[in-house]
Amino acid sequence: MFALCDKILGKNILKPNRKLFGNYTFNCFDDVNKIPEAEWTKALNHKNVFLSHSYLSILHKEKTAYFRFIYVLIYNRKNPIGVVYFQINDFSASLFGELIEKQITELKSKKASVFKNYVKNNDNETVMRLVTCGNNFISGEHGFYLQVNSKKTTFKLVEGVIDSVSRAEKLRGKISAILVKDFYEEGFGDKDCWYCNKFSHFNVEPNMIINLPAGLTSVTDYLNHFSKKYRNRAKHILTASAGLTKKRLSTDEVSFYKEEMHALYTQVYNHAKFKLAHLSANYFVDVMNSVVDSFYVDAWFLENKMVSFACGFCLQNEVEAHYIGFDYNQNKEFELYQTILYSYIEQAILLNKTKINLGRTASEIKTTVGAKPHELLCYIKPQNTVSKLILKPFMQFLQPIEWVPRNPFKEQ
């Protein structure tokens, strides 16, 4: 009744020097270790740490039978000028059904009802394949980078690669979709370009960003920009966590504490609305070993027991918040989560950075420390009628929840 997803990648996509248009060609790889690293680095031109060969090599270790990757190098006259990155998720009936159960129930359709019954009776069957151009682990534009002179050419090249990958993945006639994420409207979130390729757009939770005032030397300086109400609130948070011991972890210490970190990360993961792939316990150790110059990990201890941690990337002008973990049982007493947020602010001030990317989720709480929402757009293209039916509740599930923005700053 339902056309399910084939589990084997179409091998034609791995043929070298495939034509796009003009002098542009591309090569695809299903294993990061098969990529010519020098060509990938030249094409990327050190523009995005999350598309770097070293970082993608770490993520490649998270590959499973249901979660894998495709890497694309684009050439102009054999000169590498761009990269495109795909993550491919196969959803089992049980996982997909859990995600959209409420939306399917509310969707009054005979087809929806049939699908719901199918999901109940085929828990382990793969029922949906989501091909994502971008990184589902990180907020932001991390799906492609091209050294070309126009947005139009960029779209045309990416479109050609996406079409080729979708054909190789045998998406036609399957319950499947292509997702391209995450875009700021002023960047590559150009609706006209994606609409003409039959993509639909939807908003996801915004990226929460702090732009720091000039001249700060400490968190106290930053808090002086707050109104009395929020300044007192911040002081309460910092006082609550004063009984904890904060420590910047070395590579060896991250390795030593990896199981504790993984357990705390898992607590946060289990509270997430959309659970995609669960990182392995070695992830943070691997990142420390690979991109140690830009990556750091802070941890907080209560009587020698780790109760929270936060890691991030110190990039050219900004601090990028990465994964965190904390003990929910201790969170309220010690204000663990908000202490983590202020630690990112402190890190940025110490390094004279101008911006902090706090990522998605907990938007309202992040506004209380000065973050502003920056809307993110995703584009999705279902592959057939059944996909359209199933993706409607899936997109509704991903819609951001309503929240109230706060303004901690003094009125000008």
| DSSP labels, 306-367 | EEEEEEEEE-SSEEEEEEEEE-HHHHHHHTHHHHHHHHHHHHHHHTT-SEEEEESS-HHHHH
For residue 323, give Cα distances in angstroms to 39, 60, 247, 295.
30, 17, 17, 11
What does residue 343 show for φ and ψ, rounded to 5 degrees? -70, -35
Asked if pLDDT for residue 349 goes beyond 90, the answer is: yes
**pLDDT at residue number 130:** 85
CA distances from 133 to 80, 143, 378 (A): 19, 5, 10
Which structural domains are found in the chain, ordered by start? 11-206+375-398 (3.40.630.30), 213-353 (3.40.630.30)
pLDDT bin (cut points 50, 70, 90) of residue 93 is low
pLDDT band at 383 (very low <50, low <70, confident <90, very high): confident
- Name the more confident of 220 and 15: 220
pLDDT value of residue 112: 55
User: Residue 385 has what pLDDT?
Assistant: 67
pLDDT band at 2 (very low <50, low <70, confident <90, very high): very low
Poorest-pLDDT segment among 71-80, 150-159, 255-264, 268-277: 268-277
Q: Using 50, 70 and 90 to split pLDDT, how confident is the model at 326?
A: very high
Residue found under tokens 């060609």: 25
| Euclidean distance between CA atoms 53 and 186, whole angstroms | 27
At residue 229, the pLDDT reads: 96
Q: At what angle do helices 53-60 and 283-290 cross, to 10 degrees?
A: 160
pLDDT digits (tens, 9 = 90+) for 266-284: 999 998 877 777 899 999 9
Its pTM stands at: 0.88
DSSP for 61-76, please give it.
TT-BTTEEEEEEEEEE
Q: Distance (Å, rounded) from C-alpha 273 to C-alpha 264?
A: 17
pLDDT of residue 104: 53
Q: Cα(133)–Cα(379) distance, rounded to whole angstroms?
A: 10
Q: Which two tokens stand for residue 377?
A: 């757009």
Instruction: For residue 232, give every residue at least 6 positions away whose Cβ sits within 8 Å of its Cβ, in sequence order, or none.
Output: none
Q: What pLDDT does 292 receive?
A: 64
Distance of CA 382 to the CA centre of its chain: 21
In this structure, what are the phi and psi dihedrals at residue 316, rounded to the nearest 5 degrees?
-55, -50
pLDDT of residue 299: 98
Beta strands (DSSP E) in 10-102 are 18-19, 24-29, 67-76, 79-92
* β-sheet bridge partners, residue 24: 76
**pLDDT for 278:** 86
> Mean pLDDT throughout 380-393?
72
pLDDT digits (tens, 9 = 90+) for 179-236: 899 888 776 756 666 656 678 888 888 999 999 999 999 999 999 999 999 999 999 9
Rounded mean pLDDT, 33-51: 96
Does residue 249 surpass a pLDDT of 90? yes
Flag whether pLDDT at 72 surpasses 50: yes
Q: What is the pLDDT of residue 54?
A: 94
Q: What is the mean pLDDT of the chain?
A: 86
**Predicted confidence band of residue 8 (pLDDT cuts 50, 70, 90):** very low
Q: Which two tokens stand for residue 28?
A: 């695809």
Average pLDDT over residues 120-130: 65
Which region among 91-95, 251-255, 287-291 has the lowest average model confidence (pLDDT)? 91-95
What phi and psi, each to the nearest 5 degrees, are found at residue 400?
-65, 145
Average pLDDT of the residues in 83-103: 72
